[in-house]
Amino acid sequence: MAKYVSLVVVFLSLMIFNSCAEKGLSHPQTQALSQAVSESKAEKTNDNRPKDYGAYLAGRVAHLRQDFNSAADYYMISLQTDPENAELLERIYVILASQGRVSEAAKFAKQSQQKGDTNNFTHIIIAVDDAKAGRYPQALASLKKLGGNPVYTKFITPLLASWVYVGMGNQEKAIETISILNEDKGFKSLYHFHAGMIEDYFGNNKEAQKHYEVLINDEKTEMSFRTLQVISNFYIRTGQKEKAVALLERFNSELLFLDMIQNLAQKTANATQENTQAIIDSSDIGLSEALFSIAANMRQISSGTDIAHIFICLSIYSNPNYDLAQLMLADILESREMYQDAIDVYDEISPTSESYNTVQIKKAADYVLMDDYKAAEILLKTIIKKDPNSFQANLDLGDVMRLRGKYADAIEYYGKALSLMEPNNPQAWIIHYALGIAYEQNDDWEQAESSLKQALILSQNHYYVQNYLGYSWLKQGKNIEDAMSLIVDAYNQAPSDGHITDSLGWAFYKIGNYEEAVFYLEKASELEPANALISDHLGNAYWQNGRKAEAVFQWNHTLKMKDDSHEVDMKKVEEKIENGMEKEQPLPYDKETINELIKSISKEE
């Protein structure tokens, strides 16, 4: 099945969100973080039905629909008539915190504590709310109650408490507290980043610069975009603008966040020492950075998304104008397939932010995922009108035009994106692949075949390219042995890909081996149960295999589904349901070659 899977995604998460992280957490840290996640997600059991069951049921429905604000509101109504329900109380403060309603969450967290709740999140939520209100001694007291897992005592508590000490004006204690992170090699870069910001905040420029330059000079440290922002801001404010410019030039080839780097570099070039304000100008901003760092680290581990979601909302609560935190929140929402919610978050990011253009690209991607291709096209064309040389916008618009059936336009935008890419870029194969698909769908097979072969060479036989080229040859009834070879190799690399499995099944169908065709097409149907083309293929294979009732069932199923491949002729499907099929004439092939290929197919239990 020649289904195009877009490989061109804005992979911003690691480089933007990883606040000065080492390249991978050490194994013990990963275990500790995972344990913390597991502990925080453990639910209490309570067999007592809430007294206001109507409100509770409405809350559950809203919860399942991921309408979390409504869920929290309904749960709070239910709690009024069932105030002793500890499970409900815990659910409320967790949801409220995850929606940024931190003051409300803190109130319910306190109530839950009074009923014996020892969850560490109650202390964190209350501490963040107290710090935001300037109640630093109370915030510190809550943080000191965190314990148990080393992830709290060695990471979360010192990171948050150091900024609470900053709020109290106690520089010495803040530095002493953050120093605990320096004891673990996995957190050394994080230590230098926050220690540098603390020294910077108190005006100790010499000490701050020492910490910042440890990060700059350490090749093992991945420089996040936030780190570049903070350090370049420091250099400008301290009369070292040339160092800021040089720093940003080191990263101007980072394609993943090139647009943001260019925007920051332009602002830096135009900045003056007198007019540059410090980024970390309050303890709230610093605390927000600490919460962001925790969320970024949590996001790196399996099952850490829920925890990262809460911490990033706490970060935004501490600094409502933190655009990178909003980016992470939107990224988390996208991982939950809450695309409209993500767009709503993106809409809150100021046009003056260095990330604004990147945000528009990500919004367009969300529109595509919502099947709103027209909105995506309008937005991407607006971006290109302002910046005709935006690589990502041209590439994404090529995808959108292809999805809208405007293949000639897709070819134009893919070509533009290719012209903006360095000739030796290892990812160039992706654009050749996309071009090949657009040419093929535009009935220009000569150009399509040329582009796909180029993609095959540049990608070193990536299975997506193998699958598309092989399937395309099958459709044309040519190069059967080569087509089968490509598809078998693709299948051996990705046997759980439904589209590739469909191609293998269809290859068997085209050479008349209907028993094998049914086997692989049934597997493809299990992997992609809502795919119209696979269902149509399976129906054909059933019919040719004498299983006519099952064939008609599959064809009826085909009519109920959307055909993303644009290959299924629904009128012909209706005719097959009415009249059946003629006996297929298998394509001619070299039996010896095909038999050898069949032997090489990976077998699963």
Predicted local confidence at residue 257, as pLDDT: 61
Residue 84: pLDDT band with limits 50, 70, 90: confident
- 504 bridge partner residues: none
Rounded-to-integer distance, Cα 356 and Cα 402, Å: 26
* pLDDT score of 4 more than 60: no
pLDDT tens-digit map of 468-477: 999 999 999 9
- 27 bridge partner residues: none
Rounded-to-integer distance, Cα 193 and Cα 222, Å: 12
Q: For 208, phi and psi rounded to 5 degrees?
A: -60, -45
Predicted local confidence at residue 51, as pLDDT: 62
Paired tokens of 228: 């570049």
How many Cβ atoms from other residues are within 10 Å of residue 334's Cβ? Answer: 18
Rounded-to-integer distance, Cα 355 and Cα 369, Å: 21
Predicted local confidence at residue 1, as pLDDT: 58
Residue 31: pLDDT band with limits 50, 70, 90: very low
pLDDT tens-digit map of 353-362: 999 988 999 9
User: Mapping DSSP to helix (H, G, I), strand (E, B) and coil, where does residue 22 land?
Assistant: strand
Give the ranges where 459-602 is alpha helix by DSSP (H): 463-476, 480-493, 498-510, 514-527, 532-544, 548-559, 570-579, 591-599
Predicted local confidence at residue 136, as pLDDT: 97
Provide mean pLDDT across the span 49-71: 81
HSE of 468 in the Cβ direction (CA atoms, 13 Å)? 30
* Averaged confidence pLDDT in the chain: 89
Rounded-to-integer distance, Cα 529 and Cα 558, Å: 10
* pLDDT score of 377 more than 80: yes
Q: Are 416 and 23 in contact (CB under 8 A)?
A: no
pTM for the model: 0.81
* Residue (of 444, 364, 453, 361) closest to 407 by Cα position: 444
* pLDDT score of 19 more than 50: no
Distances (CA, A) of 532 to 336, 537, 538, 543, 559: 25, 9, 10, 17, 7
End-to-end CA distance of the chain: 24
Rounded-to-integer distance, Cα 38 and Cα 30, Å: 12
User: Mapping DSSP to helix (H, G, I), strand (E, B) and coil, where does residue 51 land?
Assistant: coil
Q: Are 135 and 126 in contact (CB under 8 A)?
A: no
Residue 7: pLDDT band with limits 50, 70, 90: very low
Predicted local confidence at residue 302, as pLDDT: 75
Predicted local confidence at residue 421, as pLDDT: 87
Using a pLDDT cut of 90, give the percent of the chain over it: 72
* pLDDT score of 431 more than 90: yes
Rounded-to-integer distance, Cα 62 and Cα 299, Å: 25
Contacts of 444-447 spanning 24+ positions with Cβ under 8 A? 445/472, 445/476
Provide mean pLDDT across the span 340-360: 93
Provide mean pLDDT across the span 225-237: 95
Residue 150: pLDDT band with limits 50, 70, 90: confident
Rounded-to-integer distance, Cα 324 and Cα 1, Å: 39
